[in-house]
Amino acid sequence: MGDLIDKLIFLGIAAGSLLVIALLHVAYLTYAERKIIGRMQQRLGPNRVGPRGLLQPIADMVKLLTKEDLVPYGVDKPVFYIAPFISLVCAGTGVALIPIWKKFVLSNINVGILFILALSSLSAYGVILSGWASNSRYALLGGLRASAQVISYEIAMSLALLSVVLMAGSLNLMDIVKAQINSPYKIYLIPQIIAFYVFIISAIAECNRVPFDLPEAETELVAGYFVEYSAMRFAIFYLAEYFGMVVMSALAVTCFLGGWIGPFEIPYIPFFWFLIKLYIILFIYIWVRATLPRYRYDQLMGLGWKVLIPVAIINLFLTAVLKLIF
């Protein structure tokens, strides 16, 4: 009994600190995004709140928390209330499974990679339900688009990850990183470059980011599935989207870029290289957003089903054959 309580307290502290760190990352990701896109579009970005605008995310948070919580007439209340939380929980739980360092992973389960895929498939519910419960045309269309998009791109993403699983011979994320470190190239980016491309593209689509942000296309659907949400409920959707970005980037770092391994050891900061790689992938997300225009809906579906899935299947087949030969 005492053991169990000790264990629970330790887990609580570890989970709490991980959550706080992840939330800080999410908050400053929004700041970094605005700043980088500002630079790319020859603007300054936020620069009024605090030195160089560094307190902007906190100001935004305070603003959203103190705003009025509007619930429009005719919504399906229970579903309307619960939908943002489904999105947030499904997006945020993935952080617990990522091995940040060889001695730190909050929950080291044997089917970690499948668990993240399961969570990302459940996160479709938040989007679909919010679109349905809002009782609004724009939200309904956004929800429809989002569900079709998430289901389609999930297949390509799973197939890309499967070839990594096949190379590592394990579904445990920790074992995948260790297998990478023991492999001749140290990282799977080089032998699995095709899977990496497929994964990154479908991860962008899975998080509903530009150029695949059709569910929330401002110019057509106002804001898509969360158009009727305001104040903190809107912020929760926003948080879920950025949490999704962080988890997908961390998964890319774990499965393709070798996790915590680096060219040399940094003393006292064992997860230094993990964070550097994570920031590079997040920068790619923002870079893509600032560079590319939005896809048309049929182009999006065509890319998913006619290009990414066949490419991923061929890559999986080649990986299996090469693994049999060597």
Closest by CA to 88, choosing from 26, 175, 14, 171, is: 26
**Residue 203 vs residues 8, 72, 254, 324: alpha-carbon distances, Å:** 33, 32, 14, 29
Work out how close the CB of 35 gets to other proteins at its nearest, in angstroms, rounded to a whole number: 36
Give dist(CA 190, CA 211) in Å, integer: 26
Give dist(CA 206, CA 119) in Å, integer: 12
Residue 171, helix vs strand vs coil: coil
Give dist(CA 28, CA 238) in Å, integer: 13
Comparison of 115 and 234: residue with beta carbon closer to other proteins: 115
Comparison of 155 and 275: residue with beta carbon closer to other proteins: 155
- Give yes or no for a cis peptide into 84 (omega within 30° of 0): no
The contact set with other proteins (CB under 8 A) reads: 4, 76, 79, 109-111, 114-115, 117-118, 121-122, 124-125, 128-129, 131-132, 140, 143-144, 147, 151, 154, 170-172
H or E element, residue 267:
none
Comparison of 12 and 50: residue with beta carbon closer to other proteins: 12
Comparison of 32 and 171: residue with beta carbon closer to other proteins: 171
Instruction: Decide: 107 and 15 in contact? Cβ < 8 Å.
Output: no
Work out how close the CB of 171 gets to other proteins at its nearest, in angstroms, rounded to a whole number: 6
Work out how close the CB of 226 gets to other proteins at its nearest, in angstroms, rounded to a whole number: 16
Alpha-carbon Rg for the chain, nearest whole angstrom, is 20
Work out how close the CB of 275 gets to other proteins at its nearest, in angstroms, rounded to a whole number: 28
Give dist(CA 125, CA 16) in Å, integer: 26
DSSP 8-state assignment for residue 265: P
Comparison of 115 and 260: residue with beta carbon closer to other proteins: 115
Work out how close the CB of 37 gets to other proteins at its nearest, in angstroms, rounded to a whole number: 33
Work out how close the CB of 120 gets to other proteins at its nearest, in angstroms, rounded to a whole number: 8
Comparison of 33 and 216: residue with beta carbon closer to other proteins: 216
